[in-house]
Chains A and B, each alone.
Chain A
Amino acid sequence: MMKSLLTARIEILRYHDQTKPTLKNIDLNINAGEFIILAGPPSSGKSTLCHCLSGVIPLFHPAALIGDVTFEGKSILTIRLPELAGKIGLVREAPEDQLFCTTVEEDLAFGPCNLLLEPEEVKDRIINALKFVGLTGYAKRKTETLSGGESQRAALASILTLNPQVLILDHAMDQVDSEGRREIIRKLRELCRQGEKTVILVDEKFMELQAQGDRVIALNHDTVIFDGRLSEFKSNSAFRSCFEMQPPPIKWPASANNKGFPRVETNEQISLNYSPQVDQDPIISVKNLYFSYRDSDFALRNLCLDICPGEFVALVGKNGAGKTTLAKHFNGLLCPQSGEVVVNGMNTKDYTIAQLASHVGFLFQNSELQVCTNSVQDEVSFALKVKKLPSQEVRNKVSKILHLLGLQEVAQIHPYRLPRGLLRKVALASCLVNEPRLLIIDEPTSRMSDLQARETMGFVETFNKQGRTILMITHDLELAMRFSQRIVFMEDGQIKWDIHSANWNGRRERYTTYELNWATKIGVPQKWAQKE
C-alpha cells in the first residue's frame, strides 16, 4: 500500500496581474513511489501546477491561492521555501538560471552544503548524481562550457544531490538527446519502483517516453480533465481534446530482449557517405575545416561538407558533438583556424557577420537574448530596418510574415510577455523576414509544444519548397527523419555519417523500418532509441 505524500486542493489560483484564474478545481493526491506524467496542451497550467506542488507559488511567486498543498500531511503554504529543500525538488526549463557556481561540482555541492552535510557525504552525492545523469567526469568542468543538454543534466544533478522525496521535472530535459533522456527516465522509473522517489514529469514528448502503467494527470482549460493510467488515457475523450492536432508519435518497436532493436531482414542498403551531385555550386562548401576552442580538448578536425541549394539537411548528434560550432562557421560567427568555408560563393573569412546576414538566417537556441524592441512587430522588422529598407516595404514584408506564422494577434505585445514557444516563433519570423537563401535553425522546436512544433516545422518545410536551403541542428532524430532530406551525423567534432533520403526511398512513413536498418547495420541508433 503506497502512502499519500503530496496533496493539492486548489479551488482557485490566480496571478495578481490577471483577471482569470490559471488553475481551478484541482484535487490531487500523489502517493510515494508514483511516476506521474503531467500532460496538457500549451498554456493549460502545467508549469503553474508544478510551481504550486513545489511551493514556489505562493512562497516565492505571489499569487492569490484559495486552497492548500500539503506534504506528508503538513501544509507547505505557511513555511519558508528553503525548508522544502531535500523534500521536494523542482527542476525547471532553463538550466542556465539554475547553475550559478563556477564549476559543476560547486553547483552540485551548493544544496547539500546548505543542509549542513559533511564534505565527504557531499562528495559522494555529487559522484552518484553525476553518474545518474550521465555526466561522470564533469565535476571540474566550468558550467559556462557545457552544451544545452549537458547544462540540463547538470541542473537535474544539482537537485538530485539534495535527495528529494518528490522530484518535479518541468520541461527539464528538452535539450537532452533522446538516448540520454530515455536513460534518465528509465533510472527514475526504477527509483520510483523501489519507492525511493516520486516523480512528476512535464515533457512535451511524453508519448515517446511512455510506459502503459504510468499515471497521467491531464490538464486543459486550467483544470484536471483526466487522472488515471496512460493506457486508459489514450482511449479517453480527454486525450483527443488535449492532443487532437498532434501527429502520431513514432512507435518504437518492441524488443525481444529489451536491449535494443530486433534485427529486421532487408535487402536495402544505406550509403553512409552521401555526397551531393555537383551539377550546381554548393551553397555551403566546407573544405578541411579545423577549429578548436582555447582551453578545451574539443575540435573540429579536417571536416569536409558540401550542401546544395534547396536541400533540407539535419545536423544531428549528441550534446557537445560540435553541431553548433560547425554551424557558427556558416555565418561568420566563427572563423576556420585552417581550411575554408564558402557560403553562397562568399568565403566567410572575407565578410563581416552582418554582411553574411543577408544570405544566412540563424535561429539561435536562446531567443530571449535578441529581444531589443517593445513589440513583436518591431522585433520582426528589426533586420529590415537595419538594412534601411523603405518603411512601406518593411511594413508589407513584416505583415506578410506575421500572417504566415500566425503572429498577427500578438503583433503589438512585448516579446517578453509571450510563452517561450511563441517567442521562438517570433525569432524565426525575424530570421525569415530577411528572406535568406540559407536558413540555419538551432533546435527549432525546443521549448515548443507538439502543436507549435508541427506548425513551425510545416512553415520551415514550405520555405524549403520555395528553393531555400535549410540546415537544422537537432539532437532529435525523430524530427530529423520526419522533415529533412539528408541527415549528417556528428560525433566528437567529426562527421560520422552523411545519409540522403533517397536511401530510404522517400517513404517517410516507413522510417521506423529504416531506423531498424540503421540499428542493425550501424548500431548507433540502438543506443539512441533504447527501449524502456
Chain B
Amino acid sequence: MKLLLGHSTNSLIHGLDPRVKLVWMACNLLLIVICQKIWLLSLNLVLILVMTVWSGISLKKFSPLLKIMLVIGLQFIILQGFLGQQGTVICRIAFFKIYWGGILMGMKGILVLLTLMLLCLQFVMWTSPEDLTLLLVKLHLPHKYAALVGLALRFLPILEKDLEAIYESQQSRGLELTTTWQKAKGLLPVALPLILRALKRAQEAALSMELKGYTLYPERTFLKTLRFSKIDCLICSALCAYFSGVVIAPKLI
C-alpha cells in the first residue's frame, strides 16, 4: 500500500496557496453538515473524486481503503436498516424488519464518512508539510507547534516507506504476504518492527531538530512565504460562489 508515497505533486492544485485548499475543505464540510440529501452528497463525492484525479492522484491509490470501507459500510447500512425504524418495511427476516428509512440513513452516514475521509486525505496529499506549517503560522499558531504539526505530517510517508521496506525484508525471508489472509497472519512480524522503528525515529528526529537549533528563539524565519496570487483569489472566489449556490439553490427550488 502506497497511499501517501509516489504521487505527482506538480499539478495546479498542488501549487495553490494552502488557504485555498483549506477553503475547499471547509466549504465541503459545511455542505455535508447543512445538506442531508443523498443525491447532493453523492454529487459532492463525485466532485471530490474528479478533483483528486485532476490533481494527478490516481484513484487506484484509494482502492485498499475503499475495500475496507465497503466491508464496514455494508454492515453499517444493514444495521441501520434494522435499527432505524423509519419509512416502509422492505424486508422481513424472522422477527426482524428492515426499514427503507434506516437504509437511507445508513447510506447517508457512509457517504458523509467517505467524504470526510477523502477530504482529509486530499488535504494531506495536496499540501506539503512545509506549507502546512506556514499556514498554521499564518493562523497565529506559535511556530514551535506549527513546525511539529508539519513534521507529524511528514512522518506519515516516512512510516509508509518503512512499512514498505519491512514488507520487502520479511517477504525476502520467506513470509508470504500476498493475500489479505496472509497479510493478517503476518501482522506481528510487520507491525512490531514498524512500531519500534517509529519510536526510535521520533527520538532521533527530536535530537536532530535540537542540534539544528529548534526552539533556540521563540520565532524563526522561513525559506518560503505564503502569498495569495491572482489565481488563488480567482479559485477561492469561484469556490465560495459555487458552494453558496449549491447550498442555497435547493432551498429556492
Show the binding face of A for B, using Cβ within 8 Å: 54, 56, 60, 80-86, 89-90, 92, 94, 96-98, 100-102, 105-106, 109-111, 113-119, 122-123, 144, 158-159, 162, 294-295, 328, 331, 333, 352-354, 357-358, 360-362, 364, 366, 368-372, 382-383, 386-387, 416, 430-431, 434
Render B95-122 as a binary contact track against A, CB cut-off 8 A, 1 for contact: 0000000000000000000000000000
B210, A382: Cβ atoms under 8 Å?
no
Residues of A within 8 A of B171 (CB): 333, 352-354, 357
Report A86 CB to chain B, min CB distance, Å. 7
Between A113, A122, A360, the greatest number of chain B beta carbons within 10 A of the residue's beta carbon is seen for: A113
A386, B174: Cβ atoms under 8 Å?
yes
- Choose from A85, A333, A364, A434 the contact partner of B216 (Cβ within 8 Å): A85
User: Once the chains are docked, how many angstroms separate the CA of A357 from the CA of B173?
Assistant: 6
A354/B176 contact (C-beta < 8 A), A105-B223, A122-B221 known: yes
User: Once the chains are docked, how many angstroms separate the CA of A380 from the CA of B223?
Assistant: 47
Residues of B within 8 A of A366 (CB): 165
Report A225 CB to chain B, min CB distance, Å. 29
B193, A387: Cβ atoms under 8 Å?
no
User: Once the chains are docked, how many angstroms separate the CA of A113 from the CA of B188?
Assistant: 41
Size of interface on B: residues with Cβ below 8 Å to A: 55
Show the binding face of B for A, using Cβ within 8 Å: 5-6, 8, 128-130, 151, 154-155, 157-158, 161-162, 165-166, 168-178, 188-190, 192-193, 196-197, 200-201, 204-205, 207-217, 219-225
Residues of B within 8 A of A431 (CB): 173
B170, A372: Cβ atoms under 8 Å?
yes
Residues of A within 8 A of B219 (CB): 116
Residues of B within 8 A of A294 (CB): 6
Residues of B within 8 A of A352 (CB): 171, 176, 178
User: Once the chains are docked, how many angstroms separate the CA of A344 from the CA of B154?
Assistant: 41
B172, A116: Cβ atoms under 8 Å?
no
Report A293 CB to chain B, min CB distance, Å. 8
Between B128, B161, B173, B188, the greatest number of chain A beta carbons within 10 A of the residue's beta carbon is seen for: B173
Residues of B within 8 A of A353 (CB): 168, 171-172
User: Once the chains are docked, how many angstroms separate the CA of A416 from the CA of B203?
Assistant: 15
User: Once the chains are docked, how many angstroms separate the CA of A530 from the CA of B173?
Assistant: 40
Report B180 CB to chain A, min CB distance, Å. 15
Q: Which 4 residue pairs spanning A and B have beta carbons closest together?
A: A85-B213, A97-B204, A114-B213, A111-B212
A364, B175: Cβ atoms under 8 Å?
no
8 contacts between A and B (CB under 8 A): A82-B210, A82-B211, A97-B200, A113-B220, A115-B216, A119-B223, A354-B174, A370-B169
Residues of A within 8 A of B210 (CB): 60, 81-82
User: Once the chains are docked, how many angstroms separate the CA of A333 from the CA of B214?
Assistant: 39
A113, B222: Cβ atoms under 8 Å?
yes
User: Once the chains are docked, how many angstroms separate the CA of A307 from the CA of B237?
Assistant: 63
Report A502 CB to chain B, min CB distance, Å. 32
B205, A97: Cβ atoms under 8 Å?
yes
User: Once the chains are docked, how many angstroms separate the CA of A117 from the CA of B220?
Assistant: 8
- Choose from B165, B177, B178, B208 the contact partner of A97 (Cβ within 8 Å): B208
- Choose from A84, A85, A106 the contact partner of B130 (Cβ within 8 Å): A106
B173, A383: Cβ atoms under 8 Å?
yes
User: Once the chains are docked, how many angstroms separate the CA of A434 from the CA of B174?
Assistant: 9
